[in-house]
Structure 1
């Protein structure tokens, strides 16, 4: 709430800076805008940038540094016996202090030292936020005043604004690239730790998945089986079922909307179809668990088939319904982008509408359609909620869609939940699964790009 108020205040200061800069530019030219090198709006943006960017930098820096500084100060005030522990226990202690500071209730009698540390944590947070707010507001006001004084008729405000925007775009692009690199490196380093305990061959080619391991050395427990083949088999099975539903329905819907539907029908049907993409996945999960799964089970029983309560078929059918808009909407846009001259030429040669679609429009739009299907495949591979509620958690190596299976993303979630230590093989297996899933997705992207380039060269 406090951060929202601060952001609103800084936004108002930025808007004030824009209007002051624009009015200052007009006044400096004596009301004659033709004497200005740049439009008054550029002068307003120039002042707004000097007002908002320094304050935004201070807020971002505080959000990054503040947790570490407060944690260090709070830990320094605790008794030595509480902080003289390992990194894992120290992290648990910090989380306990944070929970106490946020008002989370304890099970049993709380530790007085933790309660005192939580009070100090809140006090330091309030002081730090107040100081940051004052500094950010001062920087915004100072930048506003400094930039406003520099406004003159011959000032090249447009050039400076464009350079500033270019710098902002470069910084944001660099952040996105560095974020991607950081994600890959984090997966790689944790996966290396996992493979130091579990052989790579066992992980890649093992046929059993049972990651239950002993939490303590004196505890009797399984050593675990970390064969990832059942997980990827389940992922591919559910994805295949989903694509068998989404691709035909989506492509046929796109063809109808692009070439057969009237503008009035298209204006109604396409938004209604795209509503499917906005439904939360948990709603699809409930629909799969309460409606589709019982229907599949009853239909199989009536046909003499043994269908599990949780089945890959139920999850795949609902997932296919969910990703229909990804195929239909993108394919429709690509087909509409095909030049009308190609259609007219086909009609002039005597081809019917269906022949034109099959022989001209569809081949010309194939690169975009491949991209739409690839996006749908990526969406299906990354889905979790529907699989949990309709397909179950059993890591069965089977190609039977009537049995229960699980996927890679579901196992990543389950591995990171519980009381297992973070450096155990069970938890580190989640990073190995994530790295392998990343590699599989990358290979699919490379294959799709090659297909797109081949056909795009043919029709360009």
Structure 2
């Protein structure tokens, strides 16, 4: 039974428990709810919770522990053949793919369980059958790898059956326990409120735990990468040339340069236009103009990035090439830093404009009145009073736009190309960190190879970089907020 069916079954048992608990509570007082400590529905809720929570906790623990236990047993089979280190990790990746492929072959009736049990590594059609369903393995399937894959599949099947039985048993046991506790004096309301409180606390921790999980996953895989590839070469090399057959040069700086260059051009377009539009809408535009212009600007934020990418590829890129790059002798490609930067800047305008508009409108009217009372004009009030007071929020809007620019992928792929280089020419094709993260993690590649694991090192580097931007922005926000509070 798969996870979805287990969840549906447990929720169904919880619903049955709710009805039974409510009826049992009313039956214990001969149908008079005034004699109950809590509402009848709260007795039903307590049974529902006792049915659901233990079963779900068991399911979560099982899903966390199961892969590690199976991996430890299967890894031992491969390790007995004398394999260790990075080679062992590569073979374990083969084990995972072969195990999944064997399961798909059986589910499609391409082979039977008996044929699987009799398979040996010298059977010529094993690799061919796996290739037919898109599972790529090496030229030779070693006996230990095939046996480990079969063992992994057997353990996974047994674990799934045992998991289903234990989770359902836990749900039934929780329901029986809750039903036995129902009496007129049972404080069902306290149980419900305690669970709701725990749910609210858990919801408040989601963002923190998610951040911790993201950082830890990046750190662990980055450490693994630096065990296979020298950190000095990664941080100091000026060449990006991944070769999945060996001899790779995985220098970071060409990707960082492309990311900063494209983001700088995008912000150079978005920040002035967006800020000026926000000032006009907040301070000069009539209500009628504002009611029309603001929604039209915000429409830009709802356009999918693939549409912006097509716009860059078909319209902006050829126009920049024909009217600027070729006449000036700066290049012949329609894919360039300028193409991606301009289109991305257009996409970022509503991020800056809409947020800045709301922030400027939130500046107290008393500051405006005081400035006008001292004889300042409208433009002087905007420059010397309103904008400084709104600066913390404007910095936040610019930071949001910068983060959006740094993390953009599709526009860069279609507008700037995929060439990793160090150049000042804005009409040359370049690429960014995010594009290379995608390219290194896609395709039929060995996950344990340095060329794949470098994506996590790139991701961690980008995370540290954006964290620094956030710290700088927070400093600016706090500094100016103290002056205007």
**TM-score, normalising length: structure 1:** 0.78
Give secondary structure in 1 for the equivalent of 2:128. Answer: coil
Give secondary structure in 2 for the equivalent of 1:430. Answer: helix
Q: Which of the residues 335, 338, 343 maps onto 1:318?
A: 343
2:464 alignment counterpart: 439
2:217 alignment counterpart: 183
Give secondary structure in 2 for the equivalent of 1:399. Answer: coil
CA change 1:159–1:208 in 2 (3 A) is same
Where do 5+ consecutive residues of structure 2 fail to align?
111-125, 131-140
2:58 alignment counterpart: 58
Offset of 1:458 from its aligned partner? Answer: 1.2
The separation in 2 between residues aligned to 1:361 and 1:20, in whole angstroms, is 63
1:23-422 correspondence to structure 2 within 5 Å:
43-68=43-68, 86-102=88-104, 108=128, 110=130, 128-151=159-182, 155-168=186-199, 173=205, 175-176=209-210, 178-190=212-224, 192-193=226-227, 197-199=230-232, 202-212=233-243, 215=246, 222=247, 224-259=248-283, 270=294, 273-300=297-324, 303-307=327-331, 308-343=333-368, 355-417=380-442
Note if contact 2:339-2:416 (Cα within 8 Å) is conserved in structure 1: yes
Note if contact 1:277-1:325 (Cα within 8 Å) is conserved in structure 2: yes
**Once superposed, what is the RMSD of the aligned Cα atoms?**
4.3
The separation in 2 between residues aligned to 1:26 and 1:432, in whole angstroms, is 61
CA change 1:21–1:253 in 2 (3 A) is farther
1:218 alignment counterpart: none
The separation in 2 between residues aligned to 1:126 and 1:247, in whole angstroms, is 56
Note if contact 2:37-2:185 (Cα within 8 Å) is conserved in structure 1: yes
The separation in 2 between residues aligned to 1:38 and 1:256, in whole angstroms, is 58
Offset of 1:451 from its aligned partner? Answer: 0.4
The separation in 1 between residues aligned to 2:444 and 2:177, in whole angstroms, is 55
The separation in 2 between residues aligned to 1:273 and 1:7, in whole angstroms, is 44
The separation in 2 between residues aligned to 1:82 and 1:457, in whole angstroms, is 65
The separation in 2 between residues aligned to 1:149 and 1:352, in whole angstroms, is 77
The separation in 1 between residues aligned to 2:281 and 2:28, in whole angstroms, is 56
Offset of 1:398 from its aligned partner? Answer: 1.5
Note if contact 2:52-2:171 (Cα within 8 Å) is conserved in structure 1: yes
Aligned residue pairs total 450
The separation in 2 between residues aligned to 1:4 and 1:367, in whole angstroms, is 46
Offset of 1:242 from its aligned partner? Answer: 1.0
Where do 5+ consecutive residues of structure 1 fail to align?
216-221
The separation in 2 between residues aligned to 1:34 and 1:268, in whole angstroms, is 58
The separation in 2 between residues aligned to 1:277 and 1:373, in whole angstroms, is 15
1:3-18 correspondence to structure 2 within 5 Å:
3-17=3-17
Note if contact 1:191-1:435 (Cα within 8 Å) is conserved in structure 2: no
Note if contact 1:75-1:83 (Cα within 8 Å) is conserved in structure 2: no
1:219 alignment counterpart: none
CA change 1:456–1:193 in 2 (3 A) is same
The separation in 2 between residues aligned to 1:268 and 1:35, in whole angstroms, is 61
1:421-436 correspondence to structure 2 within 5 Å:
425-436=450-461
Note if contact 2:47-2:175 (Cα within 8 Å) is conserved in structure 1: yes
Offset of 1:312 from its aligned partner? Answer: 0.3
CA change 1:277–1:181 in 2 (3 A) is same
The separation in 2 between residues aligned to 1:409 and 1:168, in whole angstroms, is 35
The separation in 2 between residues aligned to 1:35 and 1:345, in whole angstroms, is 65
Measured against aligned partners, the alpha-carbon deviations of 1:393-414 in whole angstroms (never above 9, x if no partner) come to 2222122211111222223333
CA change 1:333–1:32 in 2 (3 A) is farther
2:136 alignment counterpart: none
**TM-score, normalising length: structure 2:** 0.75
Offset of 1:447 from its aligned partner? Answer: 0.8
